[in-house]
């Protein structure tokens, strides 16, 4: 078989533009540097991110790590061509997970894979990551942007994050001291956060036939704006409480909802009973439930239903904790109690 003469091949001609990658790095440098905190030893562009742990601050430091993505919420960013908030979600899903061990997030790395590298779009995404890191007080010390033509369509991308934090071994929070008589405090979510989007998209975009730019009076915004609302980051709200009070257990309410996430921190012999009348459910959840005719139990084990983080604390400290949250301008709800039983969640009062 004879070879036909053709133009010389290049990496750019095969779909990977190194120059565009370099331009993307230039566009994001300022945002990345804005996240740096004491301990960061490297600048942008190295082969690895260096971070010096303050060993004088901790008697017996334990590193806590977490990784996550944002799931099919990415479809909404791609449908709306709005990319500056999805990075906040990537950070939130990781730092909230390590926070519930009592850990202070130290640094974060991101992995971004794109079908076609558009520097301005990549910079928007990473600017969102940097914004999330500033909210969490952690440094964005590394990342990878991979252009993968033929694997992703030109407008498609995926993002994942990796967070590392630290806590003194004596201050680790694992739920082991939770006992009957403790109470449950809930911190509100900002909405859907980053879970249940396959069901949410099915109900709102397919069954209801809404477009992302459809304005819904019940929501007070468009469908796209509601579904792209960034996940709340609870680090700066919760860390001061850990140092001040006896926080026995923390649960980040992600996929699985309150029903599945709270039992992950319960020791044998206790259950949690939640009173659903004690917190307001954001309208996006009632809208999805009505349109999709979703059973109540299915809603509770899929979505956060308005509570993004749960704290289990001694009953005699609950009033002071609630007051401390109020003093910081935070909203919190006393939503349940711990009782003897199997480690499950039960509900009273259907709404």
One domain, residues 153 and 194: no
Same domain, 201 and 286: yes
Residue 5 located in a structural domain: no
Could you give the number of structural domains in the chain?
Answer: 2
The tokens describing 308, both together, are: 């993004």
In a domain, 178, yes or no: no
Do 197 and 259 fall into the same domain? yes
Which residue has better confidence, 270 or 13?
270
Return the CATH number at 26: 3.30.1330.10
Q: Are residues 159 and 229 in the same domain?
A: no
- Match 């308005």 to its residue by tokens: 306
Which of 171, 202, 229 terminates a domain? The answer is 171
pLDDT tens string 117-169: 999 999 999 999 999 999 999 999 999 999 999 999 999 999 999 999 999 99
**Exposure of 138 by Cβ count < 10 A (0-12 exposed, 13-18 middle, 19+ buried)?**
buried
Rounded distance, CA 16 to CA 117, Å? 8
Residue 204 lies in a domain: yes
Query: Of 146, 171, 196, which closes a domain?
Result: 171
Asked if the model's pLDDT at residue 291 lies above 60, the reply is yes
Chain centre to alpha carbon of residue 149: 28
**What was the pLDDT predicted at 5?**
63
pLDDT of residue 260: 96
Point out which residues pair with 158 in neighbouring strands. 113
Domain end residue (candidates: 171, 197, 230): 171
Residue 8, pLDDT > 80, answer: yes
Residues 297 and 196 in one domain: yes
- Contact by Cβ (8 Å): 168, 61: yes
User: DSSP letters of 116-161?
Assistant: S--HHHHHHHHHHHHHHHHHHT-EEEEEEEEE-BTTB-TT-EEEEE
Give kind and range of the element (H or E) at residue 167: strand 157-168
Residue 8 inside a domain? The answer is no
Mean pLDDT, the chain, rounded, equals 94
Tell me what pLDDT residue 351 has: 42
- For residue 9, what pLDDT is reported? 79
Which residues are within 8 A (CB) of 297 and not within 5 positions of it... i.e. 6 or more apart? 259
Does pLDDT of 350 surpass 60?
no
Residues 120 and 252 in one domain: no
Q: At what angle do helices 86-99 and 73-80 cross, to 10 degrees?
A: 160
User: In the block, which residue shows the tokens 């730092």?
Assistant: 95
41 burial level (CB within 10 Å; 0-12, 13-18, 19+)? exposed
Orientation angle between helical segments 235-244 and 119-136, nearest 10 degrees: 20
pLDDT at 340 over 50: yes
The answer to whether 278 and 348 have CB atoms below 8 angstroms apart is no
What's this model's pTM, rounded to 2 decimal places? 0.94
Q: Contact, 193 vs 306, CB < 8 A?
A: no
Structural domain containing residue 102: 18-43+59-171
Q: Are residues 91 and 188 in the same domain?
A: no
Q: How far is it, in rounded angstroms, from Cα 145 to Cα 84?
A: 16
Residue 39 lies in a domain: yes
């Amino acid at each position: 078989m004879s070879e036909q003469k053709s133009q010389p091949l290049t990496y750019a001609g095969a779909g990977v533009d190194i120059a565009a990658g370099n331009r993307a790095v230039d566009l994001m440098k300022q945002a990345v540097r804005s996240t740096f905190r004491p301990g960061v030893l490297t600048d942008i562009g190295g082969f690895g991110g260096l971070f010096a742990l303050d060993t004088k601050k901790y008697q017996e430091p334990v590193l806590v790590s977490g990784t996550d993505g944002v799931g099919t919420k990415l479809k909404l960013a791609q449908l709306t061509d709005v990319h500056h908030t999805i990075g906040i979600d990537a950070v939130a899903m990781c730092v909230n997970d390590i926070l519930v061990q009592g850990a202070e997030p130290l640094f974060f790395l991101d992995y971004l894979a794109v079908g076609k590298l558009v520097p301005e779009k990549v910079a928007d995404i990473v600017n969102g990551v940097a914004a999330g890191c500033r909210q969490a007080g952690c440094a964005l010390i590394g990342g990878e942007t991979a252009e993968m033509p033929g694997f992703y369509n030109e407008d498609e991308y995926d993002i994942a994050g990796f967070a590392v934090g630290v806590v003194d071994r004596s201050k680790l929070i694992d739920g082991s001291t939770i006992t009957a008589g403790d109470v449950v405090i809930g911190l509100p979510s900002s909405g859907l956060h980053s879970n249940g989007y396959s069901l949410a998209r099915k109900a709102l975009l397919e069954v209801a036939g809404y477009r992302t730019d459809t304005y819904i009076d019940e929501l007070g915004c468009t469908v796209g704006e509601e579904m792209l609302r960034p996940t709340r980051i609870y680090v700066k709200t919760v860390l001061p409480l850990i140092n001040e009070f006896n926080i026995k257990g923390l649960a980040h309410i992600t996929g699985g909802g309150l029903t599945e996430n709270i039992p992950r921190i319960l020791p044998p012999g206790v259950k949690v009973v939640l009173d659903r009348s004690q917190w307001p459910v954001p309208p996006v959840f009632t809208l999805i439930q009505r349109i999709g005719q979703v059973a109540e139990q299915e809603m509770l084990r899929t979505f956060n239903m308005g509570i993004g983080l749960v704290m289990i604390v001694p009953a005699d400290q609950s009033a002071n904790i609630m007051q401390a949250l109020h003093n910081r301008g935070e909203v919190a709800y006393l939503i349940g109690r711990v009782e003897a039983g199997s480690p499950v969640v039960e509900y009273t009062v259907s709404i």
